[in-house]
Structure 1
Amino acid sequence: MTSARRRWIGLVFISIAVALIIVDSTIVNVAIPSIIKDLGITSTQVQWVQESYTLVFAALLLVFGTLADRYGRRRMLLIGVTIFGLASILAAFAQTGDLLIGSRVIQGIGGAMVLPTTLSIINATFRGRDRGIAFAVWGSTIGGMVAVGPLLGGWLTTYFSWRWAFGINVPLGIVIIVGTLLFVLESKESADPRRVDVVGAILSIVTSATLVFGLIEGRTYGWWLTNKTLKIGDWTWPFDLSIIPLTFAVTLVAGTAFVLWGLHRQRVGKTTLLAFSLFRIASFRNGNIAALIVSLGEFGIILSLPLWLQSVLGYDALQTGFVLLALAIGSFVASGFAGAFGHRVSPITVVRVGLLAEIIGVAGLGSVISIDAGWLSIVPFLFVYGFGVGLATAQLSGVVLKDVPVDQSGQGSGTSSTARQIGSALGIAILGTILFTSAGTALDARLADRNLPESARTQVVNAVVDSAGAAIPALTKQNADVGRDAKIAFSDATRYAAYSAAGFLVLGLLASLRLNGVSTRREEQLAAAAAPLP
């Protein structure tokens, strides 16, 4: 078998690995109502089922991207898939919400080993035009799997159990391991491996964890003054001031310390978790800023839509998956569009067109969300949104990494993936908080207009918010007027979340204006790199 053919077959299994990781970040969405009924989890736990995975994923990407460069990219990929598969078994058999969240944490560790490694393998394996095609395949896989996940999850949840949404990862993991061993070559830095920046790793984890914890738990414990007392074992938070301001203060201090520590190590010639020198490259610096902001809007809305479709419109998990399939179709169409016109326009132009399509799609969703909405009014905007995701994701990855040296591809791809995942985590946290807070406020106001006593209002609002909307059908059966108020309030909240996502995407589009095409100096270097590998 020729080396070229082996590379392309290897890309198939790398893409399946990417699909495994991305599907797992979305497959749970349509299964959440079933998980709520089965395990009795609250709306805060609903967010943590998503965030525990995404947060650990984001916090460890830089660590594993660096380790993959030094100790072997294929080796890290294999270890990550194995850990991910074992954690999926634990999630499938979880009997409580806390055990499910713990399993998701372990999945996040495995996922963090896989995603940056796939990017750095592509960056180290392909050259020139082939590299662009490989990045397009990688990005299109991400875009398509964002919606294939809900469809697969809906089918498994409806006809089998939500537990199979995790169990499906095991056979896929086995296929990836076998294919990777057969067709993916090992690669790592040519220089001797040096010690990993442990302090930087700890600071990066603390920064990410405290930021997302504060955003998710702020509505529970109070943004300034304590609403609910925090208890950890026998210890109780003793102050009237909420723990959330302290959490954000830790975020600020740890984040500042991470940057200062990294710059210090760089000055004295020691290795750093984040290659700060890469930020001197304009395409890398500006591309990561754009990617983080875009991800705030791209994936946060996927949390609220399945909840609204099932709790308000009454769709089952499979019907919800079919509605969201429009997003996947749009993404696949975009990959064909990029292939046909990619050589005629610059990558950054494709990124901007994609972002504009995402803005139109998400804002359009916000305009049609109501208790009387039908799938025909939703699907076209999801298609446009998916089309934009398919265009922007692949090309933005290429723009970010196009000037990164191959020996630093793991750090570069790890940084790029971290920017996306932090954006995704923040999007879920922020849009989830907007969804549940505004739903509770709107429902309380509507019930007050009905002169419902405060104790009864509180009981209804808590039932709707704590169940992430799953209590709405039962409320409707008990009292049609109260149920209708709950549906309207949850629909309004979902609309606000959609408009907020569109706002983040607008900021991402503005950030992309700082991205330029390939410079004349880099054209020569890229032309030299275009020579085929032996």
Structure 2
Amino acid sequence: MAMLDGTVVNVALPRIGAELGASVAGLQWIINGYLLALASLILIAGALGDRYGRRKVFLIGVVWFGAASVLCGLAGSTGTLIAARALQGIGGALLTPGSLSILQSVFHKEDRARAIGSWSALGGIAAAAGPLVGGLLVQVWSWRLAFLINVPVAVACVWLALKFVPETRDEDGNGRVDWLGSAIGAVGLAGITVALIGLPAGTPEWVEFPVFIGGLVFMLEFIRGQWKWDHPLIPPALFRDRTFAISNALTFVVYAALGGVMMLMGLQLQISLGYSPTAAGIASVPITIVMLLLSSRFGALASKYGPRWFLVGGPLLVAAAMLMLMRVGPGSTYLGSVLPAVTVFGLGLAVVVAPVTATVLAAAPDRYAGVASGVNNAVARTGGLLAVAVLPAAAGLTGAAYTDPTALTSSWRTALLICAGLCVVGGLLALGVRGNVLAVVDHAPDCPHPGDCLHCSVDAPPTHVKP
């Protein structure tokens, strides 16, 4: 539900903009109101689940998300919709890390790779299916239905969780939650985002720079505090693990690229190519199909052979797809330009999504399952948040320029070059992952040959060899 809603709005943006009279900045905030709340609070939500019960926090998030969706569906102005989307983001922050940390804490180690692969596949499919579902709902009635449809889904989620999901928590935790640290991080991220998108109309331009500097100071204090405070949201030990740190850096740049492209794709297909909302959604169906067929398979292969080359190859395939999408402009055909690009796009996502998620979680101790999940989700959402904030202006798309096919196509191609570059950076970062390099350890817990036992740094089974 949360993953779907993160992208379903993309295809509805033209209709929302037309009905509510939104500018480019308004459309950015409709997306980023959600992402800002999600990215700001997802860390503390993961910690709350670890300490007070993962199923409990998950259920609160589902109910909250469903209620906020009603407010989104009833919004009568751009400002009201942005506020309701921020409330939705709070619900998304509560339920998203809980769903993954439940898998990490409930499944046996030998089954986790498949479970996480399925979770990643279904989450990725939901995100990829968002444009299709959104297009159909917008075409059937209104963009409002894209939000109201969450209510029956939320009811079903509550019933399923109560019936099938066991309660788990970190029994060794101290029960303390770093509210101050969370607030400092949220204020910092909000300040940076507000400054990058632009302050409300009528605010003097000279205010924007101090807002950005203030947000940056708060973010730097948040980072410093994770190393100095007694009860940090992110245990510093997590980022001392090179694999954990690099995998999250890769997540940041790749999801930034995805967030920017997915925002603009719905606009490009509808305004520059004249697609209906439904047709724009159907255009992305190959992404969903490829991920459905291959994500779990690539997750299993990465678990067997090590994740490094999957984390290198996936982003590079996505970068290639973005370069192929540069051919999509006025007069382009679906079979000649759109279909080949979105197929490669889906293949790249299938290669990277499940392996990077499994790698991040395998690099963290079990007791930090919720925190590790929260960190990875926060990193992904922050990447998307900042991309949506920066990319339109970086690509020359401001004001009401998104309604002009020529101006939009020019900005679309510039944005694709930027995002492809980010994906290449992600692939290069993955070369530092130690997922398929054997590392010497003292011995595995049940190893009959202490000193002669080597194991993969990403939780592979021990292999007895001569050192």
Give the TM-score taking structure 2 as reference length.
0.91
Q: Out of 327, 330, 335, which is 1:371 matched to?
A: 330
- Partner Cα separation in structure 1 for residue 220 and residue 173 of structure 2: 30
Q: What is the aligned partner in structure 2 of residue 393 from structure 1?
A: 353
**Distance (whole Å) between structure 2 residues aligned to residue 69 and residue 259 of structure 1:** 21
1:173 to 133, 136, 154: 154
User: Of 422, 425, 431, which residue of structure 2 is paired with 1:513?
Assistant: 431
Shift in alpha-carbon separation, 1:408–1:336, aligned structure 2, 3 A: closer
Secondary structure (helix, strand or coil) at the match of 1:404 reads coil
2:306 to 346, 351, 375: 346
Tell me which structure has the larger Cα radius of gyration: 1
2:206 matched to which residue of 1?
242
The CA deviation at 1:146 is: 2.0
2:412 paired residue number? 494
Q: Check conservation: 1:332, 1:387, Cα contact below 8 A.
A: no
Further displaced range: 517-526 or 87-96: 517-526
SS at match of 1:242: helix
CA contact (8 A) 2:361 2:373 kept: yes
Q: 2:266 aligns with which of 306, 323, 340?
A: 306
| Contact persistence 1:215–1:430 (CA under 8 A) | yes
Partner of 2:251: 291
Question: 1:202 deviation in Å?
Answer: 1.1
1:76: which partner in 2?
A: 57
Equivalent position SS for 1:133? helix
1:492 Cα shift?
Answer: 1.1
Counterpart in the other structure of 1:318: 278
From 163, 178, 191, the equivalent of 2:172 is 191
Partners of 1:263 and 1:276 within 8 A in 2: yes
Counterpart of 1:513 in structure 2: which amino acid? L
1:359 Cα offset (Å): 1.0
Question: How far does residue 21 in structure 1 lie from its aligned partner after superposition?
Answer: 0.5
Aligned-residue offset at 1:90: 0.7
Structure 1: how far apart are the matches of 2:360 and 2:303? 18
Query: What amino acid does structure 1 have at the position aligned with 2:222?
Result: F
Which secondary structure does the structure 1 equivalent of 2:175 belong to? coil
Partner SS for 1:373: coil
Q: Choose which of 318, 321, 325 in structure 2 pairs with 1:361.
A: 321
Q: Provide, for residues 270-316 of structure 1, a one-character-per-residue CA deviation record: whole Å limited to 9, x for no partner.
A: 31111112111121111111111111112210011111111111111
Report what 1:207 is aligned to.
188
1:38-79 Cα distance to aligned partner (Å, 9 max, x none): 222222110100000011100001111111100000000000
- Match in the other structure for 2:450: none
Between the aligned residues of both structures, percent identity stands at 31
Q: CA deviation at 1:192?
A: 4.9
Kept after mapping to 1: 8 A contact 2:302/2:355: no
Q: Comparing 149-158 with 270-279, which one deviates more in the overlay?
A: 270-279
Whether 2:444 is the aligned partner of 1:524: answer: yes
Name which of 19, 26, 43 aligns with 2:24. Answer: 43
Is 2:338 the counterpart of 1:418?
A: no
Letter in 1 for 2:414: Y
* Partner of residue 453, structure 2: none
Change (3 A) 1:334 1:433: farther
Aligned length: 446
Give, in whole Å, the separation in 1 of the partners of 2:75 and 2:252. 32
Report the CA distance between 1:156 and its aligned residue.
0.7
**Partners of 2:381 and 2:20 in 1: how far apart?**
27
Distance 1:118 1:401 in 2: 13
User: Which stretch of structure 1 is more off in the superposition, 20-29 or 373-382?
Assistant: 373-382
The alpha-carbon deviation at position 129 of structure 1 amounts to: 2.9
Residue number in structure 1 paired with 2:240: 280
Aligned partner of 2:66 among 85, 103, 106: 85
Contact 2:312 2:426 (C-alpha < 8 Å) held by counterparts:
no
Asked if residue 109 in structure 1 is aligned to residue 90 in structure 2, the reply is: yes
Query: Does the 8 Å contact 1:144/1:390 carry over to 2?
Result: no
C-alpha contact 1:334 1:388 (8 A) present in aligned 2: no
One-letter amino acid of the structure 1 residue matched with residue 349 of structure 2: V
Contiguous gaps of at least 5 residues in structure 1 = 1-19, 222-227, 231-236, 441-461, 470-485, 530-534
Find the aligned partners of 1:166 and 1:364 in 2 and give their Cα distance.
32
Partner SS, residue 414 of structure 2 = helix
Pairwise CA distance, 1:528: 7.9
Q: CA RMSD in A?
A: 2.0
Q: Is the 8 A contact 1:194 1:271 kept in 2?
A: no
Cα gap change, 1:187/1:144 in structure 2, threshold over 3 Å: closer, same or farther? same
Q: 1:83 and 1:192 mapped to 2: Cα distance?
A: 26
DSSP-derived class of the 1:273 partner: coil
8 Å contact 1:71–1:193 — kept in the other structure?
Answer: no
Q: How much has 1:242 moved relative to structure 2?
A: 2.1
1:210 and 1:152, CA in 2 relative to 1: closer, same or farther beyond 3 A? Answer: same
Tell me how far 1:337 sits from its aligned partner: 4.3
Residues 410-464 of structure 1: CA deviation (Å, up to 9, x unaligned):
11111111111111111222223234xx246xxxxxxxxxxxxxxxxxxxxx5x3
Code of the residue aligned with 2:409 in structure 1: it is: S
Q: In the alignment, is the contact (CA less than 8 A) between 2:312 and 2:428 conserved in 1?
A: no
Q: Which amino acid aligns with 2:330?
A: I
* Cα distance in 2 for residues equivalent to 1:96 and 1:294: 33
Q: Determine the C-alpha separation between the residues in 2 that align with 1:229 and 1:46.
A: 18
CA 1:258–1:439: 2 relative to 1, 3 Å: closer
Does residue 260 (structure 1) correspond to residue 224 (structure 2)? The answer is yes
In 2 relative to 1, CA 67–131 (structure 1 residues): closer, same or farther, beyond 3 Å?
A: same
TM superposition shift of 1:28? 0.8
Gaps of 5+ in 2: 446-458, 463-467
